[in-house]
Chain A
Amino acid sequence: MMLEETKKATYTIPVGPIHPALKEPIRLALTVDGEEIVDVDIFVGHVHRGIEWLGMNRNNPIQSIYVSERICGICNICHPFAFVMAVEHATGITPPPRAEYIRTIIAEMERIHSHLLWAGVAAHEIGFDTIFYLTWRVREEIMDLIEYVTGNRVTKAMFQIGGVRRDITEEQFPRIRQSLDYYKSLFDQLKRVFLDDKTIQMRTKNVGILKKEDALKLLTVGPSGRASGVPKDVRQNQPYAAYADLDIKVTTPDILTGTVVGDVYDRIIVRLLEVKQAIEIIEQCLEKMPPGPILAQPKTALLLKTLTKAEGEGIGRAEAPRGEVVHYVRLEAGQSTLATWKVRAPTYVNLMSAPTILKGMQIADVPIAFASLDPCLSCTNRIVVTDRATGQKSVTDYEELHRLSVEKTRKLQR
């Protein structure tokens, strides 16, 4: 008997640019067969803001620190961190040791708040709103601490080229330690809630697996890569700021479970352990913090003059809560703005692993699997991609636009 070859009907489900599972706009075109995902295509370009253009055309480098803070609301420490390191690299300004310690403390505080924020979002994605509310309530403590230390909850404005703008004094230590103790006392409870809960395990174990080979091939960075067993961490591999003085070990899930699966559950483990690690780092910093000035050049006008005269290029790398963030700058003598500014946010590389993670999963796994990369899309969008009605995707460059304008003008003239 001859059987006719039947083709299963697949259809496309668009997730985004606006979708309840996404906190920022991106479009995932999912080709699904029933509930199973057979193909994924990603379209970015919905939140392009031209931030690098501002740094190269409008702002002087000191103003660009504040713009770089606003690249992303959550990573508003790691971006200026990498930026000032790039400018310092280019100009040869060395921040005083005390400033390096303060930078490290602030960066680790950001990591705690970012990972807790992520944990809440992840719980919401799998429909566990109770955990979402409770996690965010716990997160308030670190937000209060950040406000206490920097004067602001979100954009902290702590960084300056060649140092930091605010000191952390001895009188503030007890308040900081109090918050850290609060988290240390809560840690076991958080671990129990996230790692032992039956329903969370049902939704996260063996979901969104990224194997070590794939993670290496796709250059996955940060906790997402570490959860796949890639021991990559800028803080350990190329220590910057005060990290070289501290005892830092890459966090991989096998510390807790003994094995590396590379699924969403492992990403939860890595982030939870990193919260603990961040607390330890801040404690070490408080102990070892050397006395001294916090700025290499306290006079802003003089600093600006130096920067205008400076010539050279520099790279700043920092370990953001989401992975390695890289800023590249080039300064030209006599130019008040940056000659070149290039930002590479961690999500930019991590997005590449999204199709691998999502393929073969169910629709229900998409929100949690995608969120487990902790994508931060405002950081990522720096090119304009146009999606044509014909279904073709292309990057419209200057020549193309020029050609189109000429064509249109000719048409109008006729």
Chain B
Amino acid sequence: MSLVIIIFGSVILVSIGGVFAMLYRGIDRKLVAHMQGRVGPPIVQPFRDVQKLLMKESIIPDGAVSWLFRAAPFVCLITSALLLLYIPLFGQKALLGEFGDALLIVYLLILPSLAYAAGGFASSSPYATVGAQREMVVLMSYEFPLAVAIVSLGWRIGHATTANPFMFSTIAEYPIWSLVGPLGIVGSLILVFTLLVVTSGKGAKVPFDVAEAETEIAGGTLVEYSGRNLCLFYLADIIKAFAMSSLVVALFIPYNLSPLVGIGTPVLAGIVDGLFFLVKVFAVMFISISVIRTAMARFKISQVSWVYIMAMTFISIVGLILIVVDLIV
């Protein structure tokens, strides 16, 4: 693939992905507002937020490590945007799909969180320091259930084909649901549930928003950020949530609508698949982010760790065992 295609493709993909991610954030806020009995902001509010933040002054605190404080938002946004290049979006193949697989995504997902923590530690504010510590703890907590979910999926698909089972093209070719029996389907559903809970944590939303926890540590890692720097974190957060939901879709719902309804024209099929993709991502986001954050109180950091390290890990391993048993039986 030529460098030109990669550069232009990335720019276009990130822009389109970003626009839809922001739109989805707007929809999420509106839906949550309605569930809470409020009117809520207009759906285009995230665009206005970005516009306003870009106009605002970026203040760097006196005690901050200036270069790290400035670099962290860029690193966070770039690594979040990078996710969009490796995850298949809109029913199409991922732009850099042949260079990376689902395991790469697991590692890439760590980077934005690290940037958050680095920015927090660099702010020299006690709130940000506490926030950064919490961010690291949360990161370490949800890594294991996430890894279990993705590896179990790859392991099962690896038994059906000799191709790299973690490649998204392979996953799309051999959807888990058509490989396994009833037990395996239950196991896979459990893995989907695990991933949905992890998505909520990755998106740093209630009940897992301990790193930002407005009423406790006043915004945590982001407390000292303002203006353009805050805008970058804001965008990164939005894109990360969209990418994470797309990952769940790519792993567990890799179906396209066009072959089913029999649309032959490539352009028309692309549009139909793109829209279907948006519906799937919406469903994932609605369950994992909107509903969970409406229905729960914020956990304490010890409770977040317990939920992920003990409860979710246990649940995901049960899912794995069910899939293994299904294969043996």
Which residue of A133, A197, A203 is within 8 Å of B298 (Cβ)? A203
Q: Is A364 at the interface (CB under 8 A from chain B)? A: yes
A20 to B295, Cβ gap below 8 A?
no
Q: Is A90 at the interface (CB under 8 A from chain B)? A: no
B130 to A127, Cβ gap below 8 A?
no
Q: Which among A47-55, A81-89, A118-126 touches the partner chain?
A: A118-126
State which residues 58-108 of A face B: CB under 8 Å.
none
Contact digits for B270-304, partner A, Cβ 8 Å, 1 yes 0 no: 00000000000000000000000011111111110
| B129 partner residues in chain A, CB cutoff 8 A | 11
Q: Is A333 at the interface (CB under 8 A from chain B)? A: no
| A20 partner residues in chain B, CB cutoff 8 A | 214-215, 218-219
Q: Is B37 at the interface (CB under 8 A from chain A)? A: yes
| A137 partner residues in chain B, CB cutoff 8 A | 37
State which residues 363-390 of A face B: CB under 8 Å.
363-367
Assembly CA distance A200 to B295 (angstroms): 11
State which residues 202-254 of B face A: CB under 8 Å.
206-207, 209-210, 213-219
B215 to A127, Cβ gap below 8 A?
yes
Assembly CA distance A199 to B206 (angstroms): 11
B299 to A14, Cβ gap below 8 A?
no
CB distance from A116 to the nearest CB of B (A): 15
B298 to A127, Cβ gap below 8 A?
yes
Known interface pairs A127-B207, A127-B213, A367-B216. Does A362 touch B37 (Cβ–Cβ under 8 Å)?
no
| A128 partner residues in chain B, CB cutoff 8 A | 206, 296-298
| B37 partner residues in chain A, CB cutoff 8 A | 133-134, 137
| A362 partner residues in chain B, CB cutoff 8 A | 300-302
State which residues 264-287 of A face B: CB under 8 Å.
none
Q: Is A35 at the interface (CB under 8 A from chain B)? A: yes
| A134 partner residues in chain B, CB cutoff 8 A | 36-37
Which residue of B38, B127, B206, B300 is within 8 Å of A365 (Cβ)? B300
CB distance from B38 to the nearest CB of A (A): 6
A203 to B297, Cβ gap below 8 A?
yes
B127 to A125, Cβ gap below 8 A?
no
| A34 partner residues in chain B, CB cutoff 8 A | 133
CB distance from B308 to the nearest CB of A (A): 15
A363 to B296, Cβ gap below 8 A?
no
| A169 partner residues in chain B, CB cutoff 8 A | none
B217 to A363, Cβ gap below 8 A?
yes
B38 to A127, Cβ gap below 8 A?
no
Total interface residues in chain B, CB < 8 Å: 30
A123 to B126, Cβ gap below 8 A?
no
Assembly CA distance A364 to B214 (angstroms): 10
Q: Is A12 at the interface (CB under 8 A from chain B)? A: yes
B299 to A13, Cβ gap below 8 A?
no
Q: Is A301 at the interface (CB under 8 A from chain B)? A: no
B217 to A199, Cβ gap below 8 A?
no
| B302 partner residues in chain A, CB cutoff 8 A | 35, 362
Q: Is B35 at the interface (CB under 8 A from chain A)? A: yes
Closest to B302 in A: A362
CB distance from B311 to the nearest CB of A (A): 12
Which residue of B38, B295, B297 is within 8 Å of A126 (Cβ)? B297
Assembly CA distance A227 to B82 (angstroms): 53
**Residue of B133, B213, B219, B298 with most chain A CB atoms under a 10 A cut-off:** B298
B218 to A364, Cβ gap below 8 A?
no
Which residue of A12, A199, A364, A367 is within 8 Å of B296 (Cβ)? A199
Q: Is A395 at the interface (CB under 8 A from chain B)? A: no
Known interface pairs A199-B296, A203-B297, A362-B301. Does A129 touch B36 (Cβ–Cβ under 8 Å)?
yes
| A19 partner residues in chain B, CB cutoff 8 A | 218
State which residues 317-368 of A face B: CB under 8 Å.
362-367
Closest to B298 in A: A127
Contact digits for B79-120, partner A, Cβ 8 Å, 1 yes 0 no: 000000000000000000000000000000000000000000
Closest to A34 in B: B133
Assembly CA distance A363 to B216 (angstroms): 7
State which residues 18-62 of B face A: CB under 8 Å.
35-38
Assembly CA distance A197 to B295 (angstroms): 10
| A127 partner residues in chain B, CB cutoff 8 A | 206-207, 209, 213-215, 297-298
| B213 partner residues in chain A, CB cutoff 8 A | 127, 364
Q: Is A202 at the interface (CB under 8 A from chain B)? A: yes
Question: Lowest 9 CB-CB distances: which A-B pairs, in order?
Answer: A127-B298, A128-B297, A199-B297, A364-B300, A133-B36, A126-B297, A21-B215, A13-B126, A367-B215
Which chain B residues have a beta carbon within 8 Å of chain A's beta carbons? 35-38, 126-127, 129-130, 133, 206-207, 209-210, 213-219, 294-303
- Known pairs A35-B133, A35-B301, A202-B299; list 8 more (Cβ under 8 Å): A13-B126, A13-B130, A21-B218, A128-B296, A130-B36, A200-B297, A364-B213, A364-B300
User: What are 25 sample pairs from A and B whose C-beta atoms fall under 8 A apart?
Assistant: A11-B129, A12-B126, A14-B126, A19-B218, A20-B219, A21-B216, A35-B301, A125-B215, A127-B209, A127-B215, A128-B206, A128-B296, A130-B294, A130-B295, A137-B37, A197-B297, A199-B296, A199-B299, A362-B300, A362-B301, A363-B130, A363-B216, A364-B210, A364-B301, A367-B215
